Structure 1
Amino acid sequence: MSSFFRPLFVFFSTVLIGITSYVSICAGGDWDWFESNSSFAPEAYVQDKSYEQLFYSINMFYGEDWYDNAHSNRFKESIIADWKKYLGKKLSEEQLNYYVLSDSSNVELSKISKAILKKENNKLAQKFDLKDAKLKQFFAFMNLAKSLETYSNNVASWNYNTDSLDPMQYMSVGQAKKVEDIYNLSNDPFLKNRYWFLTMKSYFYSQNRNEAITFFNKTQAKVERNELYYRGLSYIAGVLYKNKEYARSNFMYSVVFDNCPKLRTVATYSFHPQENKDFQQALAIANTNSQKAALWALYGYYGDEVEAIQQVYTLDPKNKHLDYLLTRALNIAENKMNTTEWKYAEYGSKAKIANDSLHSKLYQVVTKIANEKKSNSPHIWNIAAGYFEIIKANNAKATHYFSEAKKTIPNTKLAQEQLKLFEIFNTIASVKKIDQAAEIQLLPNLKWLFVFEKENSSDKLRTQFLINWSRNYVSSLYKKQGNEVMAELFLRDADYYLNPVRTEKMITHLNTNKYSDWHTFANSLYNIRIDDIYEFKAIKYAYNNQISQAIAEIQKSSFANVELLGNPFNGNIKDCNDCDHVAFQKTKYTKLSFLQKVKELQEITAKNGDTYIENILLGNAFYNLSYYGNARLFYDNNIINQYNTNYLNDTYKNVLMSNAETEKYYSKALLLAKNDEQKAKAIYLLTKIERNTFYLTPVYIPWEVDYVVFDGFKKLKQYSKTKYYQEVINECGYFRNIVQK
C-alpha cells in the first residue's frame, strides 16, 4: 500500500457536530474549471446527497459553496420531526422551530421554565397547558439545552492587545455532572436519549473532556444506535484525536461515516491518520467487513482511490461506498487524461484525450467489477467500463457495456442523459473517415450534443469537454482527408486565413446556395461569416499597403461605414487612444473613407512634389492603424479577434505591431523637410517607432532595462530652439529627463 496521502488541511478534530463553524481558505463562486475537462457527472448515479461534497474536485471542496456549511442546519429537520412525533399536536411546527432553533426564544424559555417550577399562572403559562407532562419536559429540556450554548458556541477570539487567542470558556465538570444526574433520573426513553446526548455534549465542552469518554463507556451499550448516538460518538473521536490516540479516533470517525449520512462529510474531513501505521491500527480495531470497508472508503478520499475500491469490493461487493469511490477514481482519471488548450479559445478550444494516461489498474478493477455483476449498482460500473473502452478504442466493447447499463440504470433525466452522452462519444470515436454514411450517423448525435444539450439537459451534465473534443476529432479527420474547409468549420485554425488559397476556398463554400443537412449543421458551428472574410482581406491588404485592393474588399462587406473612433491622420506627441477618441474631430472617418483618403494622399505623393505634409499624414495613418495608434477599431474583425486585448497572439502580433510602412513615410517626410520645425517633428515621430521597436526586443526588461537614450532623442537636441522641441519637452517626460541630465 502506498504512503497515506495527507489532506491539505485538518479541521480541528474535536468536532462539535452541528454547531462548529469551519473557515474555508477558498472563497466565492460555484465554478470548477476541472469540470470543463470532465465528461462524467457523479450526481448522475450517486444520488445520496451525503456524498456530494466528497466528489472529486481540483478545488479544496466540491459543490456550489466549496465547503461544508451545513453545521447550524444539519440536524434541524430530524430534530423538529422527532419532537413533533413526541409532542403530537401540543405545539405547532412553527412554535417548534421557534423554541428549538431560534436564539430569540432563549429569554422566553427561561421564563416558561420558571413558571413551571414555581407553578405560576403568568401570561406565558396561559399560552400552554403546562400541566401536560410532555410539554413541561419539552420546555425544561430546551431551557437546559439553550443554557449550554454559551459553551458550545464559544469561539476563541484574537486579542490584539496580547497578540494571542483569548482563553476559551469551558463548562465546569460539576455543571456537566448535574446534566448527567438529570439523565440518570429520566425514565422516558425519548427524553433519556436526548439527555444522554446533552450529557455527552456537556462533558465535551467541560474543563475535562475525558469525562465524555468515561460517560460514553459506561452508557453506550444502552443507547439506541440513532443519530444522537453517532453525534456523541463523533465527540469521542474528537477527544481521542486530541489525546493523540489516532487509530481509535479514526476508527470511530469511520463508524460515523458508515452509519450517519448527515455526518459523512464531517467525518471525512476529520478523519486523519498521521501515517500508515495509524491506518493499519484502525483496521485492526475493526471487527466486521463493513467497518473495514468504511475505513478503506475514507482512505480512498485522501489516498489511493483505486486500491480503496479493490479493498472495499473484496470485503463487500455491494458496499454502499463503492459508487462514490468510483466517481472519484473516474474523475481523477479524467483529470489526468483530458486536456484543453485554452490558447485556442478565440478559435475553438482544442480538447485532447491522452489514451496512454488511463490508469491501467483502475481499468482492470472497473472491468472486473462490471463483468462480475456483483455490485449494488451495476449500471455505474458498466458505464465506467464502457467509457474506458472508448478511450482504448474498443468501440464494440463500449457498446456492450452501455447495453448492460441500460438494464439497471435509474430512470432519472441526468442518469439517462449521462449514458446518452457516452453513447454519443462512442459513436463519434468509432468513425474513422467522414463520408456520406458517417455524416448520416454523426449528424443526430452532434445535434444532440451541440444543440439539444444547451436547451434541455440537466444542469449537472458535463458536456463541454466532449463538445470541444468532438469538434477537434471531426476536424482532424477532415484534415487527414485533405478537406481544409470542413476541417476549419469544425475547429478554427489560427493560421487558416493567412493562406489566400484557403481563404478563397472558404468564400466559395460560404457563397454556395444549397447545402446538405450536414453542411448546414457544420456552417452553424462556424462563427465567421462572409462579411468577416471580406473585411479581413481588406485589413490584410491595408497593412500590406495595397490600398486599392483593400478598398475593393471593404466595399464588399457590411463594415465599410463603421466609423473610426479617433482621427487616424493625427500624429500626437503622446500616444493616448482615449484622448484622441474624445478630441474634437472636424471630419469623421469610416473604414472606407479612411482608405479612400489614404489612396488620395498616396496619389499626391506619387507626383513627387512638395509632399512633406502628405508623407507625415500617411505616416500617421499607418501608425494609427497599428496597435500603438488610435484606429485599432480598423482591425476589429472576427477573424483577427485582437481588438479588445493588450496581449496580442503570435499569429497577428508582428503585423499589428509593425511600423514599417509608418517609418517609410516619416523618413521620406524628413528628407523633404524644408525647415527645423518640420525636421524636429519628423525626427520625433521616427523616435516613437524606435521606442516601440525597443519594447519588442529581449533587451527590454521592465524595472531593469526599461530606459535608454534613443538615437532620435540625440538628434532632436539639435533643434532645441524650435517650437516643436518645446512641445516635446512639455509633453514627453521621457525626453525631458534626458535633457535635464
Structure 2
Amino acid sequence: MESVKNRMKKHLKLIISLSAATIVGIGTYLYACADGGVWYYLYNSVFSPEVTVNKPSYTPLYLEEENLFYGDYDTDSQENLSSSDLDDWKQYLGKDFWAEGIQYFMYNNDALADIRKYNDATDKSSVRLSHHTPKTQSARLTNFFALLDIARNNESITNNTESAWDYEKRNIQYTQNSQIEKAEKLYQKAVANKDTFFANRMWLQVMRLKFYSANRSAAIAFFEQTQAGQPKNSVYYRALHYVAGAYKSQKNYAKANALLATLFSEVPKLRKTVTFEYRALTDSETEKIAASLSKAEQCALWAMQGYYSKEEVAIQKILHIDPKSPHIDFLLTRYINRIEGVVNKFGDLYQDQPLANVNAYHQYTHKVATQDFKTDWLLQTAREGKVSNPYLWNVAAGYVSMFRNEATEAKDFLKKADAVAKNEKQKVQVRIIDVMNDVTALQQITAADEERLTKKVEWMWQSALLKESEYKSALRSRYAFDLVRNYLSALYNAQKNLVMSEITRPKDGFYENNNHSAAIEKFLLKTNKTSWEAFWAKEYRFTLGEIYESRAIYAFYKDNLDKAIAEMKKIPLESQEVYDEQAEKMVAKQLKLSESSLPANPFNGYIQDCHDCEHAKKRTPYTKISFLQKVKEMEEKLAKGEDMYNNALLLGNAFYSASYFGNSRAFYYNDILGEAGGFFVNAQNMTMLLNMTHAKKYYQIAQQHASTDEQRAKIAYMLAKVERNEFYNKQYYSEGKIYGVSPWENEIAFKDWQGFKELRKYPHTQYYKDVIRECGYFKKETGNK
C-alpha cells in the first residue's frame, strides 16, 4: 500500500500549490494528471463501482491507478454552483429584472463596464447600458449591482487560473483592504435593513475577499464572529470551505481536515474537491481529530483518510462508528479494485503473463487474497450483514472468495447478492463473477463439466449489456472473457487436448506445425460437435479460409509452390468487411482470401525500394493465388532450362517483393500470422519474412546465366540489395531495431557491398548510369574510389 501513497504524493506535488488560490475560492479545479479517460487501464478490472455503488458524488473517488481522481476534469461542481446562484438571484429579484439580464451581468465578461457604469450613476433611472438596461429601479436591483461591483471586479484575484500550470512562478495577487471595507459596509447595512438574502450573500463576499487578502487568517476570525447569524445553506458551507482553506494555509491540518470532513458529510457535490484538499495524516493523528466530531463527520474524516492511505483500515474504523455509513461503499470498491489489480495479470493487455498452470494460478491468487491483502474481516462483515449496501458486500465477498479458492463460499455470497440486486446491471455483475468462479473451480474438465458450463458461457458471450462498450454499459468484463479462455485453455493443455486448448485461446505460432493445423481443420469440419464444441468453434478467432491461407504462406516461404497453391485453392468464400467506394463505408461481402490483390507487380525489381511509388503505378494486379501460379510456372521453366536469366531474375524479384523488404508485403498479411502491415513484424515471423535465402538463390542463378553487361550490372545491384538486407537483419532487426538505422547513434546505414564492387565493372552500361542517378549510397561509394 505504500506505493499507492507514493503515487498520490507525486500527483499532489504537482497540484498542491493550487489548493489555496483556486480550489476553495471557486469550488472547482483542474487537476494536472487527467487524460480525459480511464478505460484503457481498466482491462484487469471486473468489479465495477459504477454498478455496485453508482452514486455520482462518489464517482470521482473510485480507484484509478494512473490519476489522482477517477475520470475527467472537474467541471460539474462549478456548473452546479453557477446554476444555483442564478436561480437564487432570479427568486430574489423577481419581476425587477429578467433572467437573461441576471445571467448576463453575473457571468459575461463583456458586462463589467456596464456594471461599473450602473453603480457610478447618480440617477439609476436615466442610465443606459449596452445590454439589458433595467426598465425599473428598486433597492434589490441596486443591491444586485452593488454586489456584482465587488464580486466581479475582484475576479482577477479570486478566480485567477491563468497561471495554473506555472507552479513556481505564479504571480499571486491579494484583495485590497478598501474592497473588504466596502463589502463589510454593504453587509452591515443589509443586516440593519433585515434583508436576509442580501446580507447572506454579502457575508460570503466578505469571507471571499478576506480569504484572498494578504491576511488570510482574517477569514477565520470573521467567520467565528458572524457565523451564528447565518442560515445553514449552501452559502454557509462555501464560507466554511474558505475557513478550511485558511487553516490549511496556516498548516493547521487538524482543524482544516475537521472542517473538510463536515463539508464531505454535508455537501455531496463537494466530495471530490474536499478530498483533493484533505491532508492525509497518521492514523493516530486522525483518531485525535475524530474525537471532537459527530459520528457523521468522523465517518467522513476516515473516508478521506482511507482515500490516501489504507482503505481496509478506514473501512473498519467507519464500521465501528456507523456500519450503515454510505462512505464505506466507495472505499470497499477501491479495496477490491486494488486486489484484482494484483491478481488479474494473466492475459494482461500490456504485460501478458500466460496462465500456463492452474495450480500455480490458484497458489498465486490465494496468496494475494489472504497474505498480501487481508480479507478475513471482509468476509466476516459480509456474513454479519450489518451494512447499508448488502449487495455490494456480498458480491465483493464472492469475488474475494473466488480468489481464495473457496468456490462454494463464493457461490453462496453471489446468490445473496443476486437476491438483493436492484437492477439488471447489478445482476449481470454477479453473473460475470459467477461464471469466472465456476470455471476457475475446475481442476480438470470433463464432458459433464462442459455440458454444465455451456449455457453459462453462452450467456456471457451473448449478453447484450456485455456487447456494449464498457464506457456505455459501465460493466467491466474484458478480463473476465480472457480469464475464462485462458483457464480453460490451460486445463485442456494439461489434459493433452491441444485442439480445445487452441480453440479456447489461440496461440502465436501454433499453425507453424502442420499437424496442429490439420487437427484444427478436422475439428472445424466436424459435423457432430457437442453444444460446447459448437459454441467454441463459432467463437474461434480464425476461419478455415485463414487457416488454408496461413498454410499457403508458410509453404511459399519454404519454396514449396505445389503445397502453397493447393492450400490457396481450398479457401472458400467467406464474409469479409471491405470498403465500398461508392457507398463510402465498410460493407460485408462474400470473398475469397486467395483473390486478394497485391498492391504492386511482385515480379518487377527496382533500384529503390519505394513501396508507395510502386503501388501508385497503374497495372493489372496479381492476386495471391495468381502470383503463386506465376511463380510455379517460372520455376517449371527454370527446371526445363528455358530463358534461365529472365526466369531466375523474375523469381528472385518475386521472393524479394514478398519479403518484409519488398513491395508485396500484402502477400503475407494473415490473421493467424498476426501480420497486417506497418513497420513491425511479429517476433515469431521475423526469420521467415526477413529471410533473403530464396531471393539470393534465384539472383545467383540469374547471375550465372547473364549474357550481357547490362544483365550483369543489373543482377550485381540486386545482389547488393540482398547483401544490404542481410546486414540489416544481423545488425539491427535481430536486435529488435525494426526501424533499422538510427542517424542519432552513428549506426552504419550502408557499406561498399560486394554487389557495388561488381557493378563498378560496368560503368559503360545504362543500368550503371541509372543506379548512379537513383542510388545516393552507390554514388557516394563510387565517388570515394
- Code of the aligned partner of 2:392: I
Deviation at 1:176, TM superposition (A): 0.8
Q: Name the SS for the 1:318 alignment partner.
A: coil
What TM-score do the two structures reach when normalised by structure 1? 0.89
Is it true that 1:415 corresponds to 2:409 in the alignment?
no
Alignment CA distance shift 1:81-1:430 (3 Å): farther
Match for residue 378 of structure 2 among 359, 363, 366 = 366
Is it true that 1:468 corresponds to 2:445 in the alignment?
no
What does residue 736 of structure 2 align with?
Answer: none
What does residue 729 of structure 1 align with?
Answer: 772
What TM-score do the two structures reach when normalised by structure 2? 0.84
Alignment CA distance shift 1:99-1:588 (3 Å): closer
- Contact kept, 8 Å, 1:577 with 1:629, in 2: the verdict is yes
Is it true that 1:200 corresponds to 2:207 in the alignment?
yes
Is it true that 1:57 corresponds to 2:64 in the alignment?
yes
- Code of the aligned partner of 1:414: K
- Contact kept, 8 Å, 1:625 with 1:632, in 2: the verdict is yes
- Code of the aligned partner of 1:706: I
Deviation at 1:531, TM superposition (A): 1.6
Greater alpha carbon shift after TM alignment, 259-268 vs 73-82: 73-82
- Contact kept, 8 Å, 1:156 with 1:165, in 2: the verdict is no
Query: Whole-Å Cα distance in 1 between the matches of residues 124 and 423 of structure 2?
Result: 57
Runs of 5+ consecutive residues of structure 1 not aligned to the other structure: none
Aligned length: 732
**What do the CA deviations read for 1:489-545 (whole angstroms, capped 9, x no partner)?**
221111221111121122222223454433332122123221222222222221111
What does residue 498 of structure 1 align with?
Answer: 512
- Contact kept, 8 Å, 1:541 with 1:547, in 2: the verdict is yes
Match for residue 262 of structure 1 among 251, 269, 273 = 269
Deviation at 1:418, TM superposition (A): 1.9
Alignment CA distance shift 1:350-1:627 (3 Å): farther
Counterparts of 1:78-97 in structure 2, within 5 Å, are 78-83=84-89, 97=103
Query: Whole-Å Cα distance in 2 between the matches of residues 638 and 434 of structure 1?
Result: 29
Is it true that 1:38 corresponds to 2:49 in the alignment?
no
What does residue 562 of structure 1 align with?
Answer: 596
Is it true that 1:688 corresponds to 2:721 in the alignment?
yes
**What do the CA deviations read for 1:192-241 (whole angstroms, capped 9, x no partner)?**
33222121012112343222122112123443333222211221222232
Query: Whole-Å Cα distance in 2 between the matches of residues 150 and 631 of structure 1?
Result: 62
Match for residue 578 of structure 1 among 597, 612, 630 = 612
Match for residue 125 of structure 2 among 113, 120, 123 = 120
Query: Whole-Å Cα distance in 1 between the matches of residues 500 and 444 of structure 2?
Result: 13
Is it true that 1:697 corresponds to 2:739 in the alignment?
no
Counterparts of 1:34-433 in structure 2, within 5 Å, are 34-65=41-72, 67-70=73-76, 72-83=78-89, 97-98=103-104, 100-103=106-109, 118=123, 120=125, 130=137, 137-138=143-144, 140-142=146-148, 144-155=150-161, 167-185=171-189, 186=191, 187-273=194-280, 276=282, 279-280=285-286, 283=289, 286-339=292-345, 340-342=347-349, 354-355=364-365, 356-358=367-369, 360=371, 361-409=373-421, 411-433=422-444
Greater alpha carbon shift after TM alignment, 654-663 vs 667-676: 667-676
Note the aligned Cα RMSD (angstroms): 3.6
Deviation at 1:284, TM superposition (A): 6.7
Deviation at 1:611, TM superposition (A): 1.0
- Contact kept, 8 Å, 2:713 with 2:767, in 1: the verdict is yes
- Contact kept, 8 Å, 1:230 with 1:256, in 2: the verdict is yes
What does residue 627 of structure 1 align with?
Answer: 660
What does residue 438 of structure 1 align with?
Answer: 449
What does residue 582 of structure 2 align with?
Answer: none
Deviation at 1:86, TM superposition (A): 5.3
Match for residue 499 of structure 2 among 465, 481, 485 = 485
Deviation at 1:578, TM superposition (A): 1.7
- Contact kept, 8 Å, 1:247 with 1:281, in 2: the verdict is no
- Contact kept, 8 Å, 2:247 with 2:255, in 1: the verdict is yes
Query: Whole-Å Cα distance in 1 between the matches of residues 490 and 2 of structure 2?
Result: 40
Deviation at 1:735, TM superposition (A): 2.1
What does residue 553 of structure 2 align with?
Answer: 539
What does residue 748 of structure 2 align with?
Answer: 706
Deviation at 1:683, TM superposition (A): 2.5
Query: Whole-Å Cα distance in 1 between the matches of residues 165 and 84 of structure 2?
Result: 38
Greater alpha carbon shift after TM alignment, 432-441 vs 469-478: 432-441
Q: Name the SS for the 2:595 alignment partner.
A: coil
Runs of 5+ consecutive residues of structure 2 not aligned to the other structure: 572-591, 734-740
Deviation at 1:120, TM superposition (A): 3.1
**What do the CA deviations read for 1:690-715 (whole angstroms, capped 9, x no partner)?**
21111122478743432433333334
Greater alpha carbon shift after TM alignment, 134-143 vs 348-357: 348-357
Greater alpha carbon shift after TM alignment, 262-271 vs 369-378: 369-378
Query: Whole-Å Cα distance in 1 between the matches of residues 687 and 758 of structure 2?
Result: 28
Query: Whole-Å Cα distance in 1 between the matches of residues 732 and 596 of structure 2?
Result: 39
Query: Whole-Å Cα distance in 1 between the matches of residues 84 and 59 of structure 2?
Result: 20
- Code of the aligned partner of 1:441: R
What does residue 587 of structure 2 align with?
Answer: none
Greater alpha carbon shift after TM alignment, 561-570 vs 481-490: 481-490
Q: Name the SS for the 2:375 alignment partner.
A: helix
Greater alpha carbon shift after TM alignment, 301-310 vs 455-464: 455-464
Query: Whole-Å Cα distance in 1 between the matches of residues 511 and 2 of structure 2?
Result: 52
Query: Whole-Å Cα distance in 1 between the matches of residues 495 and 104 of structure 2?
Result: 72
Greater alpha carbon shift after TM alignment, 677-686 vs 433-442: 433-442
Query: Whole-Å Cα distance in 1 between the matches of residues 642 and 79 of structure 2?
Result: 86
Alignment CA distance shift 1:357-1:234 (3 Å): same
- Contact kept, 8 Å, 1:317 with 1:375, in 2: the verdict is yes
Query: Whole-Å Cα distance in 2 between the matches of residues 373 and 29 of structure 1?
Result: 37
**What do the CA deviations read for 1:708-727 (whole angstroms, capped 9, x no partner)?**
33333334333444433332
Deviation at 1:50, TM superposition (A): 1.6
Give percent identity, aligned residues only.
Answer: 33
Greater alpha carbon shift after TM alignment, 100-109 vs 324-333: 100-109
Is it true that 1:660 corresponds to 2:693 in the alignment?
yes
Deviation at 1:56, TM superposition (A): 0.8
Alignment CA distance shift 1:720-1:281 (3 Å): farther
Deviation at 1:323, TM superposition (A): 0.8
Counterparts of 1:588-667 in structure 2, within 5 Å, are 588-608=621-641, 611-667=644-700
- Code of the aligned partner of 2:659: S
